[in-house]
Each structure stands twice: as structure tokens, then as C-alpha cells.
Chain A
């Protein structure tokens, strides 16, 4: 069966520090991968999605970046965090063979920038 792992689950970082959130998917190959952010009391904002290794589409211009060094690995990064980067970050995947419609989410990573 397919599983998705995100880490770390919780992170507290000072303003200006770097960030790396990692997401891996098991039990499938060639998935579509996504990073969403959920700010407090707000809905989901799509940040990045990827349809293959090295293929990243950015939805919102900001100080975050994403990389996909391997087929089932998706990394969210920042060189210098801002206060506004605080939120709940969710990684998700979908199967291309079953259509890009159904997303399976990880448990999320809660980032607090102080």
C-alpha cells in the first residue's frame, strides 16, 4: 500500500534562518507531488507541484522553493524565513495512472517562525 511521510512534524525557527521540510512517498512510482500551506484560520494554498523529477511548478512567488531530487521525494526549502512563513505545511501525492484528481495528504509539518 502507498504511504506518505513528512518531517519534521513540528518546527520552531527564528526569522532569517533556513528551512528544509521533507516528504517521501512509498509504494508508488512517478507520482504527482504537491506542497500546500495552511495559515492559521485560513484555507489551503497550493505552493508547488511536480509532475516529475526536476519539474517544479510554482503557484505563489515568495521566498520558498521546492525540489524533487528523486521520483518519490519532495523538499520544501527557504534560505531565510519570514514571520509570515508560519503555518501548517502539507505534502500530498496523486497517481497519474488514476488521474490527477484524488490527493493523499501527509500528516503535516507545523512551522512557527519567531
Chain B
């Protein structure tokens, strides 16, 4: 079946540091890949997505590239801000549903 493995958290960074959150997946076929973000006390919001190999999703300074050869979709941001503190979820599409990773808690300190 489909599965998503995310880098374990929590991750703590200083403002303006470089961020990488690793995500690898196992799936049949050619799923779409997603990153969702959950701010404290809220539901999840779609951050970015990629629908085929070598696609790069980007939004709010975050980027992730769909790497079929390494089955990965790592999330990166060049300079994080305090407002980026949240839980980040990697996900892949399957039949009528998404499979989520465990989530990675990011805290950015000023």
C-alpha cells in the first residue's frame, strides 16, 4: 500500500536559517505529492503540490521537487521566519484519498 515517511521532529531553527524537511514515499503508480501546513489550533492548509516527476511545487518561499528516482519530495525554504512555525505534513494521493506522513513540528526562534 501507499505510505509516507517524514523526517522526525521537532525541528528548531533560528530566523533566516535554511530549512529542509525530508519526505520519502512508497506508492503504486504515479501519485501526486503534497505538503500541507497546520498552524497552532487550526486545520490543515495546502502549501504546495506536484503532480508528476520533476515538477517543482512552490509557495510562500517554500519549494519541493518530485523526485521519482529517489521517491522523495523534500520541503525546503531558504530563509525561515518566526511565522513559519507550524506542523508540516507530506502527503500522496491514492484512490479517492490522501495518505499523510506523521508530521514535522517546526519552531523558528527570533
Q: Give how many B residues have a beta carbon under 8 Å from the other chain's beta carbons.
A: 22
Q: Give how many A residues have a beta carbon under 8 Å from the other chain's beta carbons.
A: 21
The answer to whether B96 touches A102, judged by C-beta atoms less than 8 angstroms apart, is no
Q: Is B20 an interface residue (CB 8 A)?
A: no
Q: Say which one of B37-45, B62-70, B78-86 lies at the interface with A.
A: B37-45
The answer to whether A43 touches B101, judged by C-beta atoms less than 8 angstroms apart, is yes
Which residues of A (1-53) have their CB < 8 Å from a CB of B? 6, 32, 34, 36, 42-44, 46, 49, 51
Taking the closest CB of chain A, its distance from the CB of B34, in whole angstroms, is: 8
The interface residues of chain A lying within 8 Å CB-to-CB of B58 are none
Taking the closest CB of chain A, its distance from the CB of B87, in whole angstroms, is: 9
The interface residues of chain A lying within 8 Å CB-to-CB of B34 are 101-102
The interface residues of chain B lying within 8 Å CB-to-CB of A44 are 44, 89, 100, 103
How many angstroms from the CA of A34 to the CA of B94 in the assembled complex? Answer: 14
The interface residues of chain A lying within 8 Å CB-to-CB of B27 are none
The interface residues of chain B lying within 8 Å CB-to-CB of A107 are 42-43
Q: Is B102 an interface residue (CB 8 A)?
A: yes
B102, closest chain A residue (CB)? A43
Residue numbers of B with Cβ under 8 A of A are 32, 34, 36, 41-46, 49, 51, 89, 93, 95-103
Residue numbers of A with Cβ under 8 A of B are 6, 32, 34, 36, 42-44, 46, 49, 51, 90, 92, 100-108
